Structure 1
Amino acid sequence: MYRPTAFRQDDLTTLHAQIDSTGLALLTSNGPAGLQATHLPLLLAADEGEFGTLYGHFARANPHWQDLTGQEALTVFSGPDAYVHPGWYPGKAEHGQVVPTWNYIAVHAWGQVEVFDDADRLRLLLERLTARHEAGRPRPWALDDAPSEYLERMLRAIVGFALPIRRLEGQWKLSQNRQAADRAGVREGLAASDNPRDRELAARMTP
C-alpha cells in the first residue's frame, strides 16, 4: 500500500481496533489459479503471534480456498471513506489552487493461510464469530439454537482457515497534509453531510 508519511498508521492497538470494527473484509490471493478475491467476516485473535492471527471460513464450494495452502494472502479492511469537496478549503477563495481528493481509513494484513476442516475446530470458530456479531442483541442466536443434524451438514459445507499476520499496514488519510484551516474546513463539511459515512469520517479527524 502506498503510504505517504503523513498518513501512516503503525500503532498496533489502533490497527487491531479497525480490524475489529470492520464487518466484512476482502481476502485476496494470487495462487496457481490466478488472482482471486472473497469477501468474508473475519475474527482477530490479537494475542496470537506478533501482529495477531485472522480466522474465517469459506463455503466449501468456493474454489478459492483450494488455491490458498502455502500461498501468501492479502486481507483488506476498509474503514469510512469520503469525497473531499475543494470548496471546503479556505484557500479556494484566496488562490484557487485546490483540487478534489478522497479521505479514507484502511488496513492491509498479509500472511500465509492454513486451511482446516476439523469439525471441532470449525465449530469453535463459528461459536466465536457468532458470539461477536450477536453480542448486544435482545435474543442473541447461538449454534445450539439450530438442530444438531442441520448444523452438522452446515459444518461439512464450509472450510476454515487461519492467517497469522506477518505484515500489517494502516493508512489514515484524514487531511493531515493540509493546513489547520483546511483540515477544519474538511471536517466541518463532512460533519454537515447527509451521508453517515461522511459524518463517521469527520468524527475520526482530530482538530
Structure 2
Amino acid sequence: MLYIPPHFREADKDRLHAEIARIGFATLTTVGPDGPLISHLPVVLDKTIGAFGQLRCHVARANRQWRDSDFSKAALAVFMGPDAYVSPSWYPSKKEHGKAVPTWNYVSICARGRIEVVQDRDELAAHVAELSNLHEAAFPEPWQINDAPPDYLERQLKGIVGFRFTIDALEGKMKLSQNRSEADRSGVAAGLSVSPDASAQAIAGMMTTANSSKT
C-alpha cells in the first residue's frame, strides 16, 4: 500500500483512529473500467465495526464513481494530516559536517477496504445527521438536519449516494524526523514552531510531543 521506512511507521490503531477522526476528510480511490476514480469526501469513522473500523461517507448521485466502480475490488481512502518543509539549516549537525539536505515532514494514513453502496433514504438521512452533528458541535447554534424544510431535504437526499467503507487494513506514516538525532529533531521542531503556517506549527507540536515521549 504505502511506502513506509520502519522509523516512520505508526501501527497504533488508537492513534491512527484519532488522526482519522481529527482530519475527517479523505481522498477515496476506487477502480473503474478506465482506471482509478477519485473523490474528496468528509467521512465519519465508526471504531466499533470490524477489526479496524468503518468509514461512512457519500457522493453526489451525479458522481460516476458510485456507478462505475468495481466494488468487488478493494478501495483506498487516504487521509493527509499536517505537512511542512524542513530546512537543513535547522539541523545543528549541518554545522558539524554539512551532511544535510531539505526534506518534508508529514502525516499520512491509508485505509484499504470494501465499499457497500447505500441508497436507503433513512440510512442516508441518519448519515447526514451524524456528519452534521459531528462538525456543528462547536458552534453556538448548531445546524441540525431538521432545520431544513422537509421538501428541500428530500430533494437533497435524493441527490446523494452513501458508502459504507469497512476497513480491512490500516497503515500510518508519521514522518517527524525520527531518523535524525535528538538535537536535529529539536532544531527542526524549533524552526517549524515559529512559522506563520498552521500546518508547520502542527508538525512542530507533534515532534515536540514525540521527543518528550522518548525522554
- Normalising to structure 2: TM-score of the pair? 0.94
Secondary structure of 2:15 counterpart: helix
Residue 172 of structure 2 corresponds to: 170
Distance 1:135 1:183 in 2: 36
- Where do 1:58-73 residues align within 5 Å? 58-68=59-69, 69-73=71-75
Separation in 1 of the partners of 2:4 and 2:15?
16
1:202 aligned residue = 204
3-state SS in 1 of match to 2:59: strand
| Structure 1 counterpart of 2:28 | 27
Match of 1:105 in 2: 107
Alignment of 1:1-207 (within 5 A): 1-68=2-69, 69-205=71-207, 206-207=210-211
Deviations 1:45-81 (A, max 9, x none): 1010000000000000000111233231100001100
Per-residue deviation, 1:25: 1.0
Q: What is the alpha-carbon distance in structure 2 between the residues aligned to residue 49 and residue 24 of structure 1? A: 21
Q: Does the 8 Å contact 1:175/1:183 carry over to 2?
A: yes
- Structure 1 residue 23, shift from structure 2 partner: 3.3
Q: Distance in 2 between matches of 1:30 and 1:11?
A: 28
* Alpha-carbon shift at residue 29 of structure 1 (Å): 1.5
Q: Which moved more, 1:31-40 or 1:49-58?
A: 31-40
Q: Which runs of 4+ in 1 moved over 2 A?
A: 67-71
**Whole-angstrom distance in 1 between the partners of 2:23 and 2:33:** 29
User: Aligned residues: percent identity?
Assistant: 49
Structure 1 residue matching 2:117: 3-state secondary structure:
strand
Gaps of 5+ in 2: none
Q: Deviations over 1:6-32 (max 9, x none)?
A: 011010100000000113210012222
Alignment length (residue pairs): 207
**Residues of 1 paired with 2:84 and 2:68: CA distance?**
34
C-alpha separation in 1, matches of 2:25 and 2:157: 21
Q: Is the CA contact 1:115–1:162 (under 8 Å) kept in the aligned structure 2?
A: yes
More moved, 78-87 vs 27-36? 27-36
Equivalent pair of 1:6/1:177 in contact (CA under 8 Å): yes
RMSD: 0.9
Aligned residue type for 2:13 = L
* AA of the residue aligned to 1:49: G
| Cα distance, 1:143 vs structure 2 | 0.7
Question: Which structure 1 residue ranges, 5 or more long, are not aligned?
Answer: none
The answer to whether the 8 Å contact 2:24/2:44 transfers is no
